[in-house]
Amino acid sequence: MKERILEINKLLVEIYEDVIHIEEYAIKTGVFKDLSITEIHTLEAVGLYGSKTMSEVASELNITMGTLTTAIDKLIKKGYVERKRSDVDRRIVNVSLTKKGKLAYRVHEKFHLDMVKAIMNDFTSQEEEVLLCALRKLNNHLKDIYNYSGENQQSQ
């Protein structure tokens, strides 16, 4: 039993690190070399459609408003995001992706989909179903263990 736990832990850590390294490599060698993984995740949190308030984005990323403001300032300078004050309440700041930001979002999304498709090529449909079931359980357990619903909650 202990050997299995150790192997599962080792595999989870390796998979996480491999995905991060593959993602970093894809960014460095891709069209959007000027973006970091953190910046791409910020673009994802801003979202492809419409706009979000700075508070919504900070909450989704589980970061402070100060950290987000710095990140958004950099993304604006690079041409990926635009910021606009609300006409209704000037204290509210909305952010949205520019055309360039939307393109970066879509390219990154395609990268992830292509990676998953490539992985799934080696699986039978039965293995796919087992993997999907196991990943759902893992995802739910991690959220339960760490009291995190993934629905825009700040860490405790």
> Is the pLDDT assigned to residue 154 strictly greater than 50?
no
Q: Mapping DSSP to helix (H, G, I), strand (E, B) and coil, where does residue 156 land? A: coil
Which tens digits make up the pLDDT trace of 47-75? 999 899 999 999 999 999 999 999 999 99
* Residue 148: per-residue pLDDT: 58
| pLDDT confidence bin for 1, thresholds 50/70/90 | confident
SS3 of 28-88: HHCCCCCCCHHHHHHHHHHCCCCCEEHHHHHHHHCCCHHHHHHHHHHHHHHCCEEEEECCC
Range 134-153 average pLDDT: 76
Query: DSSP state, 93?
Result: E
Range 4-13 average pLDDT: 94
Range 101-124 average pLDDT: 93
Query: DSSP state, 155?
Result: P
Best CA proximity match to 112, nearest among 37, 9, 47: 37
Spell out the domains of the chain, with CATH numbers in brackets.
2-122 (1.10.10.10)
Query: What does the block give as tokens for 101?
Result: 């930001």
The residue with greater pLDDT, 147 or 1, is 1
* Residue 87: per-residue pLDDT: 86
| pLDDT confidence bin for 153, thresholds 50/70/90 | very low
Between vectors from CA 18 to CA 101 and to CA 79, what angle results, nearest 5°? 15
Q: Are the CB atoms for 154 and 59 separated by under 8 Å?
A: yes
Q: What is the pTM (predicted TM-score) of this model?
A: 0.80
The β-bridge relationship of strands 93-97 and 52-53 is: antiparallel
Q: Are the CB atoms for 81 and 46 separated by under 8 Å?
A: yes
Which tens digits make up the pLDDT trace of 88-104? 888 899 999 999 999 99
| pLDDT confidence bin for 156, thresholds 50/70/90 | very low
* Residue 75: per-residue pLDDT: 98
